[in-house]
Amino acid sequence: MSSRVEILNDGGYRSDGRRQFELREVTINLAQQGHADGSAIITHGLTQVLVSVFGPREAKMRSQTIHDRANINVDVNVAAFSAGERRKRSRGDKRILEIASTLKSTFEPVVQTTLYPRSQIDVYVTVLQQDGGLLQTCINGTTLALINAGIPMLDFVCAVTGGVHSTSPLLDLTTLEENDVPHVTVAIMPKTGKVALVTMETRLHVDRFEEIFRLAGEAGKVLHREMKSAVMGRTSALVDAMGSQGTGIDRDGDEPMNTA
């Protein structure tokens, strides 16, 4: 059965006017949200996520205390108004639980948890709008919120979704495209080039996988520049606000900002 929507037209343009490898516009807001130790609002196109980080702080429950490192807790909540469909998503929704679990397993090896034994780092993700690329947006927002909270990390984690329409690879998919083409989300650590995550939600032919995997890795480096620029801009603004000429005030951003 052919798709009712033309994913890629004869001129090489997608339904939203982008080229195959063109990423959607990214906006990043690192201004403090509420009482969080660090936060970030990030949008990829029409998908928008707010991530708030609390901690490291003393573990509340003994059962969750790990004696030699911090425990990372991730809670994902989808705002009722976030999608076109107005169905209520419970916290036990399978998709939400999968995203929370993926975020936890992706960031545990990257956050330097051994610096904070017997403590916990709480990551709260709120999905405000969604139009495809939800996991990539959650990952990129979590990276920024952790850095904003001054939590030491080995590197940025930068994620992009890619898919294949017929034989044409596409990057940064909308909901329309995700519903119609096999796709994969790839998260890389740009400093080392290591892959932090590869997750496939649909079947993808092995011949196509290699190409989309490489393209997504390259796109991750492009996103890294955007994310790094936002962090450095935020740090500069804080330093200016404190009226300081000296160094050492930007310790919070210091470790990740050297990850060019």
pLDDT value at 172 more than 90: yes
Residue 253 inside a domain? The answer is yes
Query: 79 is written with which tokens?
Result: 């705002």
Mean pLDDT of 167-181: 94
Residue 122 inside a domain? The answer is yes
Mean pLDDT over all residues of the chain? Answer: 89
Residue 9 inside a domain? The answer is no
Amino acid letter for position 173: L
pLDDT value at 184 more than 70: yes
Residue 19 inside a domain? The answer is no
Residue 175 inside a domain? The answer is yes
Structural element, H or E, at residue 200? strand 194-200
Residue 79 inside a domain? The answer is yes
Q: What is the pLDDT of residue 147?
A: 97
- Alpha-carbon distance of 177 to 186, in angstroms, equals 17
Q: From the CB of residue 161, how many other CB atoms can be counted at a distance below 10 Å? A: 27
pLDDT value at 130 more than 50: yes
Q: Which of 128-137, 157-166, 235-244 has the lowest mean pLDDT?
A: 235-244
Count of domains forming the chain = 1
Q: What is the pLDDT of residue 254?
A: 45
Q: What is the pLDDT of residue 228?
A: 97
Asked whether the beta carbons of 62 and 175 are under 8 A apart, the reply is no
Q: What is the CATH number of the domain that holds 49?
A: 3.30.230.70
Residue 8 inside a domain? The answer is no
Domain boundaries, position 219:
26-257
Residue 21 inside a domain? The answer is no
Q: What is the pLDDT of residues 5-34, one digit of tens each?
A: 789 998 989 999 999 999 999 999 999 889
Q: What is the pLDDT of residue 89?
A: 55
